[in-house]
Amino acid sequence: MVSTLLAHDLLWGMTPQQLPVDAPAWVIESISAGQPVVVRRALSAAGQVAVGVRGPLREQRFAALMQVSSLTRRVRPEELRHVQGQRDFPALRALAQLRSHLDDSGWVWGVSGSAGFELASGFAALHEGSDLDLILRTPSPLSRRDAQALVAVLDAVLCRVDLQLQTPSGAVALREWAGTSSRVLLKSATQATLVTDPWNPQEQAA
């Protein structure tokens, strides 16, 4: 089961008893309220998954470990592509603007971050200044030219859009891959590495 859980998946079922004894009060409150946790890109022992707990403030993020056996529900970012939000914020208006283009791109995409959390759970996470966080699953390479074209589309909407490319070796920011630097930061479960080709596992191993 652990191998099927991916970074940015939202999970339900974690209990306050699974939190460390020094967990802040807001973390206990979030879990007790039934909020989901988000899968982190980090290693964990068998039977556990690395997760993050969200608090009401942007800086309130807490790393924890969840017992996989307690999992009751999972929502992946791509399941949220066509979920309609109940509130009116720039991030959700931007999502509505981008849906058809991303649907037509040929890639699997999804909603993460605050927008994904709110769409999946119904708990308020967005505000007027929230960015829209998206992921694009790219098992094969996305050319830098195509990345630049996609950035131009994202920059034409109502708020800042941050999109992560999910490669087989880890995640890289679309804006970095579309930039002029020869190397970009690839984040995996074990490390963050500067690479020239995020789709080349041998380069990351080196």
| pLDDT band for position 204 (cuts 50, 70, 90) | low
Beta strands in the chain (DSSP E): 10-12, 37-39, 48-54, 61-67, 73-75, 108-112, 132-137, 161-167, 170-173, 184-187, 192-195
Query: Which of 22, 133, 146, 155 is the catalytic position?
Result: 133
Report the percent of the chain where pLDDT is more than 70.
97
Query: Which of 131, 146, 162, 197 is the catalytic position?
Result: 131
- 133 or 205, greater pLDDT: 133
pLDDT of residue 57: 83
Asked if 131 is an active-site residue, the reply is yes
Asked if 22 is an active-site residue, the reply is no
Arithmetic mean of pLDDT, 103-110: 96
Distance linking the first and last C-alpha atoms of the chain: 29
Structure tokens at 65: 């470990």
Task: Check: CB of residue 160 under 8 Å from CB of residue 143.
Answer: no
pTM greater than 0.85? yes
For the chain, give the mean pLDDT. 93
For residue range 150-167, what is the model confidence (pLDDT) as tens digits? Answer: 999 999 998 999 999 999
Report the SS3 class of residue 184: strand
What domains appear along the chain, each with residue ranges and CATH number?
2-75 (2.30.30), 77-205 (no CATH)
For residue range 12-66, what is the model confidence (pLDDT) as tens digits? Answer: 999 999 999 999 999 999 999 999 999 999 989 999 999 999 998 888 999 999 9
pLDDT of residue 203: 67
Arithmetic mean of pLDDT, 109-118: 97
